[in-house]
Amino acid sequence: MDYSKTIRTAGFMAITTILAKVLGLVRDMILAAVYATGMQATAFTAATEVPLRLFDVVIGGVITAAFIPIYNSVLTKENKKKAMKFANDYVNGVLVITILLTIFGLVFNRWLIGFIAPGIDAPTTELAIGLSRIMFGMIIFTGLTYVFVGILNSNGEFYITSMLSVVFNALLIGYFLFFIKKGGIYGLAITWVLAWAAQALVQVPHLKKFEFKYRPTLRLNTPEMRMALKLAVPILISSWAPPIASLINLRMSSYLNDGRAFTALSYSNKLYIVITGVFAFVASNLSFPYLAKAEASGRKDDIKKMRGLLLSTITFIMAPIMIGLILLALPIVRLAFERGNFTAADSALTAAALMGCSFGMLAHSYNEILNKIFYALKNSKTPMYTAMIGMGVNIIGSVILPPYLGIVGLGYAIALGYIVTAILNLMMMSRELGDFAQKEELVDLGKMVIAVTLMGGIVFVTRGFFENAILGVIVPTIIGATVYLVSCIGLKVSTVWQFIDFIQSKLK
């Protein structure tokens, strides 16, 4: 792997992902300002969640995870022409499944809305059903978007794929700015579907560049498709865990705070994903094709080295973010959403859920990386078992904790599920590739713990100094980040010094 090129690509992906997340946050801020946690917001949330969760449960987690290892294996051991034939079969397989899913959703949308949000009133339910009839169309475009991303990433194209969410959110923000008064909530649903279609369409010219030629043929009996299907079944089962747990969490939240907790949990999830998704997304998606190629070439030592690098880097980045989010949940929610019809009570409710979820942030990031390593090794059963156990812990927690703790109990249940899954994944990965940490790595981890503890103390002390929402977030964040970085440099954390050495080598 070209280290310099990887750093540049990772940097671009991080910037575009942050931009996409910021735009997504702006989109949600506008949605919150216009609709707050009222009837239309609740109906739109339910109508959006149902097709997305249905997609996730049936196929979403499988598409790239089953495609990339097989495609790269064919590309490495055979040739590009054969790999592209497999890609064409795979695209058509995804297309057939998503069309059937869309039809299923349109037929059973009333039951699906009732399942995900049984606590909402009749008028809100009817509005959600009407919106969902439009929203189910996005399932087809979502499937195509995912499989196109898998093809492009496997051929080393990460720039266009990392820009997709920017396109998506820009289109939705444009609708809010120019058409919301005329089109209303139904126009927003139509724009949502069109934005997913745009993500698929912008990739088509780049697919042609890599010699992908679409043909309306589907060969299920090829060795590649059989292997993909074999790999897909455990991945599919493991991919059920997050959406099923999310559905249960949303269902439980609809009974809290007169249904307002349903939308508050959705807003907190969006903020959580904005903050968590950047670095876990970049690390796992950039490394996945490389890991798959290394496995196809029999370079297991390279996979082991990459595992150590990914986990140490994600710990260095995500540990301070996790602590910061736990301590600054309320001011962050106030800054993000508290305007228009979104009240201080809405902020408190959303922040409680966000704070609880944040305890699982580092574990969530670990799971994203470890799952990709397992899939690259063509071991899809281990993540299936660990994910199902984690889901069980989450669901049990979501039933037991909310009656005593309210919405924050749902957050704790989500975090606990991630933590249990991560512990199991780490244990099983050590069996797969050998022990994780040498003495130097354990020392490095201890140094990071010291640095993040110092940072947390500073943020805790400074967070109450400012009534202004912007200053209440920015000042403690800057001070905390400075303390953390200075501490890591002073303690000679190797992750920091490797990056400093790289920058210095480029400046010479």
The pLDDT assigned to 120 comes to 74
Same domain, 24 and 104: yes
pLDDT greater than 70 at residue 4: no
pLDDT greater than 60 at residue 374: yes
Please, where are the H alpha helices in 297-406?
Answer: 300-327, 329-337, 344-358, 361-376, 381-400, 402-405
Amino acid at 345: A
Q: What does pTM read for this prediction? A: 0.76
Residue pLDDT, tens place only, 322-349: 999 999 988 888 888 887 777 888 888 8
The pLDDT assigned to 324 comes to 92
Same domain, 251 and 261: yes
pLDDT greater than 60 at residue 502: no
- C-alpha span between 54 and 61 (Å, rounded): 11
Listed residues 401, 436, 471: the one ending a domain: 436
Same domain, 410 and 458: no
Same domain, 412 and 442: no
* Number of folded domains that form the chain: 2
Same domain, 347 and 454: no
pLDDT greater than 90 at residue 419: yes
Provide the residue range defining the domain that includes 472.
438-508
Same domain, 316 and 420: yes
Residue pLDDT, tens place only, 78-101: 788 888 999 999 999 999 999 999
Same domain, 332 and 401: yes
Same domain, 369 and 480: no
Please give the mean pLDDT across all residues of the chain: 84
The pLDDT assigned to 503 comes to 53
C-alpha distances (whole Å) from 213 to each of 67, 161, 168, 221, 234 are: 17, 19, 25, 20, 30
The pLDDT assigned to 404 comes to 87
Lowest mean pLDDT across 119-133, 200-214, 392-406, 430-444: 430-444
- C-alpha span between 134 and 273 (Å, rounded): 25
Residue with tokens 């724009």: 191
pLDDT band at 71 (very low <50, low <70, confident <90, very high): confident
The pLDDT assigned to 177 comes to 87
- C-alpha span between 238 and 228 (Å, rounded): 15
The pLDDT assigned to 2 comes to 52
- C-alpha span between 36 and 266 (Å, rounded): 12
Listed residues 394, 412, 436: the one ending a domain: 436
Listed residues 436, 453, 471: the one ending a domain: 436
Same domain, 216 and 353: yes
Same domain, 247 and 321: yes
The pLDDT assigned to 322 comes to 93
User: What DSSP designation does 254 have?
Assistant: T
Amino acid at 112: L
pLDDT band at 392 (very low <50, low <70, confident <90, very high): very high
pLDDT greater than 60 at residue 66: yes
pLDDT greater at residue 487 or residue 41: 487
- C-alpha span between 441 and 423 (Å, rounded): 18
The pLDDT assigned to 47 comes to 86
